[in-house]
Amino acid sequence: MTQTATPAAATPPHTGSMEARVQRVLILSGPLMMVMWIGAFLAIAGFIPPSDPSASADTIARMYTDSSTSIKVGMVIAMAGCAFLVPFGIAISGQLKRIRGAKALADVQMVSCALLSLEFITPIAVWMATSYRAEGRSAEVTQAMHDLGWILFMTVIWSLWVQLIAVGVAILLDRSERPALPRWLAYLSLWEALLILPAGTVLFFKDGPFAWNGAVGLYVPLVTYSVWILSTTWCIHRALGEQVAEGTEPG
């Protein structure tokens, strides 16, 4: 009697790394935060363009009494957006840890990004409190609270500064034949670390390009930070796509 050989079990198609798939979703948190902030600050709260730092107390108080609900709604959305910096930073660290000698820098980057999330939440909470009883306090107190929010929001650049340098240096350490991330992203990160510095000096100016509503004080750091987020998202999403296809794990 002839025996029929049992066919070998078919090898399942390559499904890739589940961790890479998860991180590929997490990295999209950065652009999601940007969308939430644009909606919150520009479309809802009306904080972009910002108030004039030299505006009178009555002007600032009137802004809060006339737009109390929209400011509250906008700040709630903006605060929720801040939380998405954490998964964004985790996905960045996943790629930096693939670089030999960059594990500590990956941790520095991740912790700095988490701190930045908290640092952005603080001024947003100040603006929330300012809008809460806007009609029941003196205009000078409202102006002082509004100023506190903007100064905190603009000057909390130092965790971001450390994050950008950590990313840039980590990528430059990669001497492998197939780098984890492109070197141009390192140079972009280091340039961005330089371009955000004027935001940390807005408390010295009430008008001109270096004020919190000026081109150098606000718009250059804001626009270039947005470019960095989108560029980083694209590079890491692409790298994770390759890892999914190969079935390899992020760091």
Nearest to 167 by CA among 236, 222, 117, 115: 236
- Whether 10 is in a domain gets the answer no
pTM above the 0.85 mark?
yes
d(CA 245, CA 58): 60
d(CA 197, CA 221): 8
Are 205 and 214 within 8 A, CB to CB?
yes
- pLDDT per residue rounded down to tens, the chain (251 residues): 455 555 544 444 444 588 889 999 999 999 999 999 999 999 999 999 999 999 999 999 999 999 999 999 999 999 999 999 999 999 999 999 999 999 999 999 999 999 999 999 999 999 999 999 888 889 999 999 999 999 999 999 999 999 999 999 999 999 988 898 999 999 999 999 999 999 999 999 999 999 999 999 999 999 999 999 999 999 999 999 888 887 777 76
Judge whether 5 lies within some domain.
no
Q: Which range of residues forms the domain containing residue 125?
A: 18-238
Separation of alpha carbons 229 and 238, rounded Å = 14
User: How far is Cα 137 from Cα 60, in angstroms, rounded to an integer?
Assistant: 12
Per-residue pLDDT at 244: 85
Q: Whole-angstrom Cα distance, residue 229 to residue 44?
A: 23
Question: How far is Cα 79 from Cα 232, in angstroms, rounded to an integer?
Answer: 22
Q: Residue 237, exposed/middle/buried by CB under 10 A (0-12, 13-18, 19+)?
A: middle
In a domain, 157, yes or no: yes
Domain assignment present for residue 251? The answer is no
Query: Which pair of tokens denotes residue 75?
Result: 């700040």
Element holding 7 (H helix, E strand): none
pLDDT of residue 177: 87
The SS3 call for residue 135 is helix
Alpha helices, DSSP H, located in the chain: 18-26, 29-37, 57-66, 68-82, 85-96, 103-132, 139-155, 158-173, 183-195, 220-246
Provide the domain count of the chain.
1
Whether residue 142 contacts residue 134, with contact meaning beta carbons closer than 8 Å, is answered with yes
124 found inside a domain: yes
> Is 186 contained in some domain?
yes
CA angle 98, 239, 107 (to 5 degrees): 35
